[in-house]
Each structure stands twice: as C-alpha cells, then as structure tokens.
Amino acid sequence: MAVSMLDVIRTKRFGRALNDEQIDSFIGGYSAGTIPDEQAAALLMAIVFQGMEPRETTRWTAAMIRSGIRLDLSGLDRPTVDKHSTGGVGDKTSLPLCPLVAACGAAVPQMSGRGLGHTGGTLDKLASIPGWRAELSPDGVRRQLAEVGAVITATDADMVPADRRLYALRDVTGTVASIPLIASSIMSKKIAEGTGALVLDVKVGSGAFLPEVEQARELAVTMVSLGEANGVRTAALLTDMDVPLGFTAGNALEVAESVEVLAGDGPADVVELTLTLARTMLELVGLGGTDPADALTDGRAMDVWRRMIRAQGGDPDAPLPRARHVEEVMATADGVLRRMDALHVGQAAWRLGAGRARKEDPVSPSAGVVWHHRPGDRVRRGDVLFELHTDDTERIHPARLALEGAVELGDEPAPPRPLILERIG
C-alpha cells in the first residue's frame, strides 16, 4: 500500500516518529519530483518543531545517501580520511590541512562548498588561484588521490541529489535551523564521498553558525553517531569562533596565509588548529605515530600542496589577486585589546565582496579584511587595527559600519579562551 504524504506530515506534526517506510518514501519521492514543494515544506517545518529521534535521523541520512552515487575509494593503497568544518571567519585550515595529512601517509578526499553569508567557502578561496578548477569527475578524484594523495573539489552532482533539493527548499522556507536536518545534510555528503574516517570541526562562538556550546555539542554528537552508524570512523572537535582565525578573512588573503603555514610559519592559532586536526585525522586511520609538525618543517606538506594545485589546473607560483583599494581602520584610544568579535569581522569581509548573500552571487577573490592585533595585544590611539581590501570603494563605508563594536579595549586583557574546547568521539 502506497505511503500517504498527508499521513507522513500528520505523524510528525503530532510529534510521533516516522517509520522507515515513511522516510524512504518521502526522500525517494521528493528526489524524483513526485512530492510537491508545499508538502515537503510542511514536513520540514514539522521536523523543525518536533525534532527527530536518533533512529529517524539515521534512516533519513541513509535514504539521502541512496538518492545518488557513493564514491568507491577502496582501491587506494593508503587509508582515507577527511575533515569538515561547520564554518567560521578566517577559517582556512582545510587548505594547509589536506596536503599536510596526505604528506603523512593518508589520502584526503575533501568535497567542499562555496561560502554563504559571513563565513568563507573553501572552494571560493582556492578559486582565487589562477587556473584552479573545482569540478572533478569521480574518476578524476580517484586518480588525483592515487597520484597526489589529496584533492579538494566540489561535490559531484550525482552525489546526494536529495540534499541539493531539500537544502534549497529549507533555505527559502526558514527550516535550516534543525539539528537533525543539519547533521543529515552534512553527513550524507561526507559519507557518500567514500572516506573511511572523518574529523568534524564544530565551531562555537559569535562567528559560528551555532554560537552556543550546548547546540554545537548536540550537533557534534549527532554527526559522530551518523558517521559511526554508516561505517565511517568519526570524531568531532568543538573549537572556538569568538575570535576570527589568523589575521585574514577573504579569499586570496586566506590562501596567502595558508601558504605561510605550509612554509612552516603562519599565525599561531591557525598552526595549532591545523596540527590538532591533522593529529586527530591520522589517529583515526592508524597513523598516530606520525607527527604532522615534521611535514611542515621539512617541506613535504608544501610539496603536496603544489602538486595538488597543479593537478587541478592551478599555478601555485602565480601572483594572487590584489584589491585595488585598501583603507585602514585605526584605534581611537590606548588600551589592551580585550575582544575582537568574529561575527563583526566576517560581516565586514562579506560587505567588502568576499562573500555572497545568495548561492548564485559572484564573490571577489581579492576582497577581505586584514587585522594587525589579536586579543591581549596593547595598542595605542592611531595604531592600525584593520585593513579593508576591496575593488569597489562604495563597499568601504558599509564595512566600516560592520566593524563598529568589533573590538573592546580595556586596562587588562580578558581571560584567555582555549582554541580547542572539547573532543567528542
């Protein structure tokens, strides 16, 4: 007997759990276009209000994966492991991390996305490198993993098509903010890419998608459970996003900073997070005896980076785009920098052109924000706090407005907040 979509909606509307047949019927029907948007939107809204039990979320995720292809990486001669971040300001760790872990003996099949809003996208950053291309076929992914050990690419259109349709609907119906739906969206794509292990970087703080630690922990626990249920060894780190990472937010600016890390230098917080994630990834695939710090200092990680960029058509030696206009924002008083708010900085970078409001919007490769001080530094009136980089001078004033309230000066530094808050799994 066919499943009634009205019964599915009513079941969740009244707070009852969906059974396997109802979930499979909905995901399959909506992917095939036989369930209209208005009925799908009604179910999504009911899920936002009523939630889903762990069994429902697991089945929902499995049905999403079955809607498309699942990449087979079993033929590689090294273990596979990936990393996913929930998004932050200045979060460029994927760029040095992928070649670093590959230099230590694992294969890293990272399928990434574009940025939206105040958080930057990995593909947008890499697209600022002349000639680099994001789209690779499944065979191209396997070939690059075999030859280079690392790939960062766009998700294949045939992987988890159900998520593509559902996310577009969630975006326009105010149903994005649901832990089960967020977790299944992220994990269905990561599981479908064929990785054997996964480390999740779940951001917590003002610049994060989930600013409260309780919600972030709930998302992390849910995603770790989904990974393990699907045969993917999974761990999550809760990491701080009250303060932006490094000293740059913006596409080409973050690439340049990532190359500094690969050269054995770079901001201390970016290096710390990159190495912590790398050690966790290597531990999950049985390579915990390898110290990734050595691969930064001896140049192996940089070698893999250059090969990875070239394999995707990019020129690692080409000059990166530079903004036509740079304007400085000065400190208005003496004091110790007690706080730098990540959300304000991310919004400023977005207003300068580094991000997009809609998925189809273009982004500027050269736009962004550079900051010269971090919390704990002593500054004097007239010192440069921020540089605003843009090709469009009309964007400077809105960016300045976004930075109002971004910093707090005082007589004494604020208590330090650890970068790594918690591990789950």
Strands 82-85 and 378-379: unpaired
Helices and strands (H and E) in the chain: how many = 16, 13
Indicate if 203 belongs to the active site: no
Q: Which of 82, 124, 156, 163 is flagged as catalytic?
A: 163
Quick check: 198 and 285 in contact, CB under 8 A?
A: no
**Alpha-helical segments (H) within 67-112:** 94-103
Quick check: 60 and 23 in contact, CB under 8 A?
A: yes
**Alpha-helical segments (H) within 196-299:** 213-229, 251-262, 268-284, 292-297
Q: Which of 59, 83, 84, 217 is flagged as catalytic?
A: 84
* Residues ≥6 apart with Cβ < 8 Å to 263: 302
Indicate if 170 belongs to the active site: yes
**Alpha-helical segments (H) within 51-194:** 54-66, 94-103, 122-126, 138-147, 161-173, 179-192
* Residues ≥6 apart with Cβ < 8 Å to 352: 250, 364, 367, 368, 369, 388, 389, 390, 395, 396, 399
Indicate if 74 belongs to the active site: no
**Alpha-helical segments (H) within 382-425:** 396-402
Strand partners, 82: 198
Indicate if 242 belongs to the active site: no
Q: Indicate the SS3 state at residue 98.
A: helix
Quick check: 166 and 160 in contact, CB under 8 A?
A: no
Cβ neighbourhood burial of 6 (10 Å; 0-12, 13-18, 19+) = exposed
Q: Which of 112, 185, 206, 225 is flagged as catalytic?
A: 185
| CA-closest candidate to residue 42, choices 7, 74, 17 | 7
Quick check: 194 and 109 in contact, CB under 8 A?
A: yes
Q: Which of 59, 83, 170, 233 is flagged as catalytic?
A: 170
Indicate if 372 belongs to the active site: no
Q: Which residues are catalytic?
A: 84, 163, 170, 185, 189
